[in-house]
Amino acid sequence: MKWKTLLALMLLAAPLAAQEAKSLEQAGLVDVSALPGVRVFIDMRYATPHNFTGQKIYDSAKCYLHQDAARALQHALRLAAREKEPFTFCLWDCYRPQSAHQKLWQAVPNPNYVAPPAKGSRHSRGMAVDLTPCDFTGNPLPMPTDFDSFSERAHMDFYDLDPDVLARRETLKKIMTAAGFTYTRTEWWHFDKTGWKQKPLLDIPLPR
């Protein structure tokens, strides 16, 4: 068997193994709060009614990310700590089971803000994180909007903002891209880890 054929078979087998995983850990995901040296504040909005649906979507408030995204988040935290005015992150959303994503699509079937279920969310691959800068006591710093505002003001190319807020948004974008994430034009808080296409969609429930 030629090496190129063998490599192709290996790449096909890797997502299948993750899809058949019985736990998030088997699929390569890690609990962010358990990572050494990570000081973040977790405010999983979909584990509460404090989100745009007004309903509790998740049964757990735990933040899981694929280990690739988790390492990149650790890098972003180190960069944020080196800023002239250091900060950390408050995490609003991490891994999202596909069944939970279906509920969000039913509430807002708009592909500008919620990925169509047939395509799948990058959150459901464990490769996306929604976050905001906050101080080291967990207080969010001023940003253009709150989470899931579905407004033009939340766009990365909206510039009619207070100078301090605009500067903070640009600093966040700089840090996250330097750490290996890409950003979404319509949501300043949403970042995808590069390489997300190689990870399978998952519907493993969050642990309670």
User: What pLDDT is attached to residue 46?
Assistant: 97
Which candidate, 61, 59, 53, places its Cα nearest to that of 32?
61
Angle at 74 between CA 68 and CA 79, to 5 degrees: 130
Which candidate, 130, 137, 98, places its Cα nearest to that of 115?
98
* The dihedral sign for the CA sequence 28, 34, 36, 39: positive
Q: Where are the domains of the chain?
A: 37-198
How far out from the chain centre does Cα 94 lie? Answer: 4
Contact 30, 63 (CB under 8 A): no
The residue assigned the tokens 């650790």 is 74
Which candidate, 139, 37, 163, 161, places its Cα nearest to that of 87?
139
Which residues make up each annotated binding site for Zn(2+)?
A: 123, 130, 190
Residue 123, both tokens = 């959150």
Q: Which residues are catalytic?
A: 187
Question: Rounded to two decimals, what is the model's pTM?
Answer: 0.89
User: What pLDDT is attached to residue 19?
Assistant: 55
Q: Which CATH class is domain 37-198?
A: alpha beta
Q: Which residues contact 150 (CB under 8 A, 6 or more apart)?
A: 52, 108, 110, 113
Residue 122, both tokens = 């990058």
Residue 104, both tokens = 């969000």
Residue 139 DSSP class: P
Which residues make up each annotated binding site?
A: 123, 130, 190
User: What pLDDT is attached to residue 8?
Assistant: 36
**CA 146/CA 172 separation, integer angstroms:** 15
User: What pLDDT is attached to residue 16?
Assistant: 39
Residue 76, both tokens = 């972003």
Angle at 52 between CA 101 and CA 105, to 5 degrees: 30
Q: What is the pLDDT along the chain (208 residues), one digit of tens a residue?
A: 343 333 233 333 344 344 568 899 999 999 999 998 889 999 999 999 999 999 999 999 999 999 999 999 999 999 999 999 999 999 999 999 999 999 999 999 988 889 998 889 999 999 999 999 999 999 999 999 999 999 999 999 999 999 999 999 999 999 999 999 999 999 999 999 999 999 999 999 999 8
Contact 202, 95 (CB under 8 A): yes
Q: First vs last Cα of the chain: how many Å apart?
A: 45
